[in-house]
Structure 1
Amino acid sequence: MTYLLIRKAAWAIATLAVASLFVFLTMEVVPGDAAQVMLGINATDEAVAALRERLGLDLPLWQRYLSWVGGMVQGDFGTSYIYSEPVSYLVADRITVSLPLAIIALVLSTAIAIPIGVWTASRRGSMLDTVVMGITQVGIAIPNFWFALLMVYVFAIGLQWLPAGGFPGWDAGVFPALKALAMPAIALALPQAAILARVTRSALLETMGQDYIRTARAKGLSRRATLWGHALRNALIPVLTIMGLQFAYLLAGTIIIENVFYLPGLGRLVFQAITQRDIIVVESVVMMLVATNIIINFIVDLLYAVVDPRLRKAPA
């Protein structure tokens, strides 16, 4: 287990290093000048040059990269060019929307997908299995913003049960905040549930064909007990992989949904920073999301060892 931890941690650190270089260089080749955007098109060349010097944009590329990485290692993610506030403050303010949204969406998708995956696997080849799998395929094919617009039309405009957009803040109360996140969470959860349900079904079907499942059945164990007590646990590795990737996606990939519902989350912050050429915000937030993704995958790898004890053994 110790070897597994060391090896996975080393890979995580190396991936972070490569990702930081890629993110930094990608933002450097994006057209536009942050100083020019901040001052406007009528600014003089002298004013633009002075602002670039104040922001440190006139320094050599390698020096800016090392300064940025060194600051992140020490917990300093820089100061926004546009808002003139530390990026960490902006992230801390927006994460209170994006993180609960991602958690709610993941809980919903898991609560929907796992029972459907198990149920359809136990009825393989039936008419209901075919219908449900067809519905999940449609759910995968349709983008989540379409679900979002449809729900706004039905539940906000038509039935007027839920707000069409905006976020009142947690200070307004838990119920109003959760009510504002309900439709965005469902719009995010439905396509992810469709994917997870198909993965769960496929993993269970493969596991149920193993010899130990037939042995359990031959000893008199019921199909339901075999399915839930033996097959499901051994089918969890691909399911955990998808759940880890989905949480990282839900946290980082909500730009469209947050803009549809006017939610002040990380996705909207990144979108605004890109349009305003606020490079430091984009770089730092993207790196935070990359680090979150890597940490989640690291945790998922450790959960593999919990689910399957064979993975705890160090290779010879």
Structure 2
Amino acid sequence: MTAFILKRLGIGLATLVLASIVVFAVMEILPGDPAQLMLGLNATDDALQALRNQMGLNDPVLWRYFSWAGGMLVGDFGNSYTYSSPVIELIGERAIVSLPLAVISLLLSTLIAIPVGMFAAARRGRMADTSVMGVTQLGVAIPNFWFALLLIYVFAVWLRLVPAGGFPGWSGGIWPGVRSLLLPAVALALPQAAILARVTRSAMLEVLGEDYIRTARAKGMPRRVVLWRHALRNALIPVLTIMGLQFAFLLAGTIIIENVFYLPGLGRLVFQAITQRDLIVVEGVVMLLVASVVIVNLAVDLTYALVDPRLRARA
């Protein structure tokens, strides 16, 4: 088991190093001069040169990369030139919105998708299965931003049950904050639930055809016990894989949703930093998201070993 964990940690570290090189290189080859964009077209050459020196744009490329990467190792992501504050502080302020939003969305997606996928698999070929798969296909096809606008119209404008946008902050209490995240979470969760339900159904169908399932049914075990205790656990490997990928997507893919609901999260921070050419903020947030993907994938790999004892034996 120790060798298994060390191997996954090594792969994760290599991924982070490669990602940092790619992110830095992409920011370098983007057209345009950040200093020119920040000061405007009427800026003097002296002002542009002074700002380039302040931003380190005149330093050698390798020096800038190692300075940036080395700073991240000690928690220094640099300073934002637009907000005039450390990037790590900006990320911390916005993460308290994006992280709960991603967690709530993943919980909703899982609570909906797994029972729905099991229900469809247990009724394979029947009308219920066909109906469920049709609805999930619709959920996969509908863009989440269009679904978000529909939710705003129905639940915020028409029924007035939840706010249409904005975030009051956690200082006013947990429920007002969660209430403002409900519609964005649903808008993110339902399309992902449709994908996860289809994966759950496919995994369950493979397991339900195994000999031990038929043996359990022949011994007179109730259908519910067979599905939940025996079939689901053995079908969880592909389901956990998709859940890990979905959490990373939910954390990183909130740019449109956070702008639709006017939420001060990481997605909105990245969008504003891109429009303002604040590259140091973009680099910091992207690397944080890459690190979150690596950590989630490591957690999923460890969960595999907990779910399937055979993987522990191999490790």
Could you say whether these structures have the same fold, taking a TM-score greater than 0.5 normalized by the shorter chain as the test? yes
* Aligned counterpart, 1:219: 219
Partner of 1:134: 134
CA distance in structure 1 between the partners assigned to 2:108 and 2:151 by the alignment: 16
Counterpart AA for 1:129 = D
Number of the residue aligned with 2:161: 161
Tell me the distance in 1 between the aligned counterparts of 2:305 and 2:107.
Answer: 23
- 2:87 and 2:77 mapped to 1: Cα distance? 6
- Structure 2 equivalent of residue 122 of structure 1: 122
Number of corresponding residues: 315
Percentage of matched positions with identical amino acids: 67
Cα offset, 1:218, TM superposition:
2.1
CA distance in 1, matches of 2:177, 2:266: 17
Give 1:39 deviation, angstroms: 1.2
Q: Distance in 2 between matches of 1:3 and 1:178?
A: 41
Which residue is equivalent to 1:25? 25
Cα offset for 1:216? 1.6
Partner of 2:189: 189
Root-mean-square deviation (CA, aligned residues, Å) is 1.0
Distance 1:307 1:141 in 2: 32
- State the match for 1:298 in structure 2: 298
Matches within 5 A, 1:1-316: 1-314=1-314
Q: Which amino acid aligns with 2:299?
A: I
Q: Which amino acid aligns with 2:289?
A: L
Shift of 1:232: 0.2
CA distance in structure 2 between the aligned counterparts of 1:314 and 1:226, rounded to whole angstroms: 27
**Which has the larger displacement, 146-155 or 167-176?**
167-176
Per-residue Cα deviation, 1:181-215 (whole angstroms, up to 9, x for no partner): 11100000000000111111110000111111122
1:219 Cα deviation after fit: 2.1
How far residue 314 of structure 1 moved from its aligned partner, in angstroms, is: 4.0
Distance 1:314 1:227, change over 3 A: closer
Give how far 1:80 is off.
Answer: 0.6
How big is each residue's C-alpha offset from its partner over 1:231-290, in whole Å with a ceiling of 9 and x where there is no partner?
Answer: 100000111111111111111110000000000000000000000000100001100000
Provide the C-alpha distance between the structure 1 equivalents of 2:247 and 2:33, rounded to a whole number of angstroms. 34
Q: 1: distance between equivalents of 2:5 and 2:314?
A: 10
Mark the runs of 5 or more structure 2 residues left unpaired by the alignment.
none
Instruction: Give the Cα–Cα distance (whole angstroms) in 1 for the partners of residues 221 and 32 of structure 2.
Output: 67
Equivalent residues of 1:94, 1:264 under 8 A apart: yes
Deviations 1:124-148, CA, capped at 9 Å, x for gaps? 1110110110000000011100110
- Per-residue deviation, 1:29: 1.2
Deviation at 1:163, TM superposition (A): 1.2
Name the amino acid aligned to 2:251.
Answer: L
The alpha carbon displacement at 1:160 in A equals: 1.7
- Residue identity in the other structure for 2:38: M
Residues 31-86 of structure 1, C-alpha deviations (whole Å, 9 max, x = no match)? 22221122111101221111100111111111111111000111111111111111
**Quick check: 1:3–1:314 contact (8 Å CA) kept in 2?**
no
CA distance change for structure 1 residues 161 and 305 in 2, over 3 Å: closer, same or farther?
same
- Distance, in Å, in 2 between the alignment partners of 1:36 and 1:161 is 46
Deviation at 1:30, TM superposition (A): 1.4
Q: Could you tell me how far apart the structure 1 residues matched to 2:108 and 2:207 are?
A: 25
Give CA deviations for 1:66-114 in whole Å, capped at 9, x if unaligned. 1110001111111111111111100110011101111111111111111
Partner of 1:262: helix, strand, or coil? coil
Retained in 2: the 8 A contact 1:32–1:277? no
- Measure the CA separation in 2 of the matches of 1:169 and 1:77: 25
Cα distance in 2 between the residues matched to 1:119 and 1:229: 15
* Runs of 4+ residues deviating >2 angstroms: none
Structure 2 SS opposite 1:313: helix
Distance 2:280 2:101 in 1: 25
Q: Give the Cα–Cα distance (whole angstroms) in 2 for the partners of residues 107 and 286 of structure 1.
A: 24
How far 1:172 sits from its partner (Å)?
1.9
